[in-house]
Amino acid sequence: MKTRVRYAPSPTGLQHIGGIRTALFNCLYARATGGTFALRLEDTDRTRCDDAFVKNLYDTFDWLGFRWDEGPDVGGAFAPYVQSERSALYQRYARELLDKGAAYRCFCSGERLEAVRKEREAAKSPLTGYDRQCRSLKAEEAEARANAGESHTIRLKIPLGERTVFHDALLGDVEWKNDDVNPDPVLLKSDGFPTYHLANIVDDHLMEITHVLRAQEWLSSTPLHIILYRVFGWEPPVFCHLPMVMGQDGKKLSKRHGATSIDEFRKGGYLPDALLNYVALLGASYEEGREIWTLDDLAKRFSLDKINKAPAVFDYRKLAWFNAEYIKAAGNEELAVRALPFALDAGLFGGAGRPPDSGQKALFVNAMPLVKERAALLTEIPAKLAYLFAAPPVPDKQEFIPKKGSIEDARVSLERALPLVAALATGDDAGAEVLVKAACEKSAVKIGDFLMPLRVAITGSRVSPPLFGSMRLLGADECAARIKRALESC
């Protein structure tokens, strides 16, 4: 049997880490087994769904760089893949459950349900959920009231006094008392739209989904879903409830821990491949001692037995390490393209949003080797390279003074560096080191003490990208001009 998996988000919010991890694991499992990965939009919550969130979903996956085989945008044999376009199907299957006596019509108003909730709360009752007021209605009476136009929902009749047992590929056999299942949940709302439970089961069956990989937060809904499969007489898919993603405090990952939506990571300067690599390791193990993976490599090794039972802990520092590794490995052109939006926002080329001219663009690309080893985030790159695009203000005199030195020592070093500028700005690192070492030996000055004032004069900071590489990019004339400005200030 060919594997068929799906990612079925509700477009009621931005795509977040947990959802992307679910989508990624489904995609990897499909690739690993030669199966099919489908996208289905579960948009039956009409009060919360928004086209902006649908757009965010597509934009997110375009940025991440992996996609589905079937879905609303690409079609497929089981279209439509948007639940709001499948309403007639859900109504038909809700009718089937009514005819089987497995469901019933409920005429309770929202006001009555709220009153019941408040009464229980006041009495400190342990009971929750629907009180099954309409469960005992005669089918004929309920049908007549519905035909007369009375507003109602359709609820599932949970078999009482029984147990529901199912097997989870990760957790093993799970047993649940039916009396602890959501009491007779609504399957079809009064507006004719299905709830998640009915639409999810009908679509998974009709779309021939073989495996459902989803977060463990859905585990408590699974007994209800198994009951639905049984009353329909359908074979349920294989369930695999993925470990939760937690913060380092042991609580479910949320905004209090830091960024959670993919938009936040994207705007925060993370590379998509680094984020995917890290997310793929949240709750799964592939090969001991190896951390850097491509999606193709992961797909070759992914299997359900690679997934861990224990919750995954999201470590922002570890993610930053991954990002730094991917920045180091990126080609200069590629890294410049990724960093350009952040440079534009920072006004690196002469004003916020101003694009680079041809010379600035070439300089930006050529400067990438200077920051590859020093940037963990793309957002850090513009500030690290600002001195290349505009002469920085001359710092305070104290910044030029080498350790255990004086301002006079700094002046002497700058004066002795000035004749070397042409050679330092045109040669290579090895040649520059030879020249500087010779100058330092002649003057009995430590190399670090000699280079500190020069670094501050050229870059405006005591800490900067490689000095000799910076001087080559700036050119001899600009470097000489900056040293002279520094001497005037000192």
Catalytic residues: 255
Residue 378: burial class (beta carbons within 10 Å; 0-12, 13-18, 19+)? buried
Q: Which residue in 399, 380, 402, 405 sits closest to 465, CA to CA? A: 380
Report the 3 state secondary structure along the chain: CCCEEEECCCCCCCCEHHHHHHHHHHHHHHHHHCCEEEECECCCCCCCCCHHHHHHHHHHHHHHCCCCCEECCCECCCCCCEHHHCHHHHHHHHHHHHHHCCEEEECCCHHHHHHHHHHHHHCCCCCCCCCCCCCCCCHHHHHHHHHCCCCCEEEECCCCCCEEEEEECCCEEEEEEHHHCCCCCEEECCCCCECHHHHHHHHHHHCCCCEEEEEHHHHHHHHHHHHHHHHHCCCCCEEEEECCEECCCCCECCCCCCCCEHHHHHHCCCCHHHHHHHHHCCCECCCCCCCCCCHHHHHHHCCHHHECCCCEECCHHHHHHHHHHHHHHCCHHHHHHHHHHHHHHCCCCCCCCCCCCHHHHHHHHHCHHHHCCCCCCHHHHHHHHHHHHCCCCCCCHHHHCCCCCCHHHHHHHHHHHHHHHHHHCCCCHHHHHHHHHHHHHHHCCCHHHHHHHHHHHHHCCCCCCCHHHHHHHHCHHHHHHHHHHHHHHC
Residue in the structure block whose two tokens are 């609303």: 72
Residues 366 and 354: their CA atoms lie apart, in Å, by 19
Residue 301 bridge partners (DSSP) = none
Closest residue by Cα to residue 239 from 6, 485, 12, 472: 6
- Partners of 241 in beta bridges: 214
Distance of CA 417 to the CA centre of its chain: 49
* Positive/negative CA dihedral, 13, 14, 17, 22: positive
Angle at 472 between CA 351 and CA 423, to 5 degrees: 145
Q: What crossing angle do the helices spanning 467-474 and 429-443 adopt, rounded to 10°? A: 110
